[in-house]
Amino acid sequence: MNQPTVSKIIDSLKSVLNGELIREEVSDWASYYVMADDLAIDDEIVWDLLKIISGIDILDSPTSYFHNEEDIKDWIKQATKSLLK
């Protein structure tokens, strides 16, 4: 199975902001890798981002998410910077 990439993570986060994906889809996708016993993510940056976005769907009340759109934009910036290194 192909490992996720920083670019795929950025695309997924942008899709959440654009309303093309819901947070739960992205969380489920990231959680698959984070929770898998038999997968090892080689890229430390990808691993750190997957751990972060696996919680993108956490609620802090019945109607609002703990991580707001600014958090998601910050994650995109962080991920984009890692591509430039």
What confidence tens digit (pLDDT) does each residue in 29-57 have? Answer: 999 999 988 878 888 999 999 999 999 99
| CA–CA distance, 23 with 21 (Å, rounded to integer) | 7
What confidence tens digit (pLDDT) does each residue in 10-36 have? Answer: 999 999 999 999 999 999 999 999 998
The answer to pTM > 0.85 is: yes
**pLDDT(84) > 90:** no
**Cα–Cα nearest to 5, from 49, 35, 36:** 49
Q: How many Å is the Cα radius of gyration of the chain?
A: 13
> Mutual orientation of helices 69-84 and 6-17 as an angle, nearest 10°?
150
| CA–CA distance, 71 with 56 (Å, rounded to integer) | 9
